[in-house]
Amino acid sequence: MPVIIDNQLKEQIPYDPAVFPISFFHDELETLWQWNGPLHWHPGFEIATAETGILDYQVGEKHITLNPGDTIFVNGNILHGIRQISGDTADPMPNIVFSGSLVAPEGSQIYKKYITPLQQRDELPFIVFSGSDKALQNIRDFILNIYHCFRNQPPCYEMMIQRNVSQIFEYIYSNINTFPRHKSNRIQLINQIRLQKMLDFIYTHYQKQISLKDLAQAANVSRSEAGRCFNSFMNCSPIEFLIQHKLQIAYKMLAEKIYTVEEVCNFCGFNSVNYFRRQFKAKYGITPGKYCVLGK
């Protein structure tokens, strides 16, 4: 299923915390443009595994390379995204997103002792479990068992999943002081909030003429700081991101084959049809007119 995010980049996770607070995903990259997932966040934890390709997993401002067999554990409320950088086919990348209440109810002694300390570790936004580290074989088995249970749903599979997740948390808690720290993460959280405010402004006002000054004011930062935030998280300038967002909207509208190129150009806030055509072709390799006819 596609990654669905709101204007604050929060992903909409389809699980009911009162029923079974965990969701399983796979084969998502295949549905995404250039096997590239957007930056997003969610309150729950995430565990994802590279199976066949090499993945660039971005957590906050840091990029982590996952080779086949590697798994990453991402803490809650942290911006993260995924891009496949090697491989002939899209990596299945099985992954789970879950609440700590899967292990124990919030407010319980178990939750306070084993879940809350990890949630509050700002300097521990992620943990990588290397597929080549023999000492981590038990952890890999727990994770693979979870994927197997979701795919095959044997009798009592929910209890099996809960047990394996609990064993993963037991390992993390027991070794929490051995994992690499990222001391600048609190600063990254501040920048994450600034970025979210600017992205919300873009998503709300992209049809209008937006300047760098407008975006900076939306996050109450200087124009240079606005540019630095975008370059750190998005690897582009704010205006470049704005143009790319306009083009993505245009691409979806033209695919519906009910709007003219001129109508789409005006709706997306491009001043010039010729400029829109050049930008569209540079991104998608085809002019908007031809795309509208061919429906690629």
Is the full-model pTM beyond 0.85?
Answer: no
Nearest partner of 70 among 89, 93, 87, judged by Cα? 93
Distance CA 71, CA 48 (A): 6
Are 241 and 202 spatial neighbours (Cβ–Cβ below 8 Å)? yes
Query: Residue 199 above 60 pLDDT?
Result: yes
pLDDT in the model for residue 4: 54
Domains observed in the chain = 22-178 (2.60.120.280), 185-294 (1.10.10.60)
Distance CA 28, CA 51 (A): 13
Q: How confident is the model at residue 1 (pLDDT cuts 50, 70, 90)?
A: very low
Cα separations (Å) of 43 from 3, 9, 11? 15, 12, 9
Beta strands 62-66 and 71-74 are: unpaired
Q: How confident is the model at residue 233 (pLDDT cuts 50, 70, 90)?
A: confident
Question: Taking residues 190-207, what's their average pLDDT?
Answer: 88
Question: Taking residues 210-232, what's their average pLDDT?
Answer: 93
Ranges assigned E (strand) in the chain: 22-25, 36-40, 45-49, 54-59, 62-66, 71-74, 80-86, 95-98, 126-129
Q: For the CA atoms of 233, 55, 166, 148, what is the dihedral angle to 10 degrees?
A: 140
Of 49-58, 89-98, 162-171, 255-264, the least confident = 255-264
Q: Write out pLDDT tens, residues 267-290.
A: 999 989 999 999 999 999 999 998
Distance CA 244, CA 241 (A): 5
Q: Chain-wide mean pLDDT for the chain?
A: 89
Q: Write out pLDDT tens, residues 103-155.
A: 999 999 999 999 999 988 888 899 999 999 988 999 999 999 999 999 999 99
pLDDT in the model for residue 277: 94
Total length of the chain: 296
pLDDT in the model for residue 33: 74
| 273 CB neighbour count, 10 Å cutoff | 15
Query: Residue 16 above 70 pLDDT?
Result: no
Using DSSP's 3-state secondary structure scheme, residue 98 falls into strand
Distance CA 233, CA 60 (A): 7
Are 260 and 289 spatial neighbours (Cβ–Cβ below 8 Å)? no
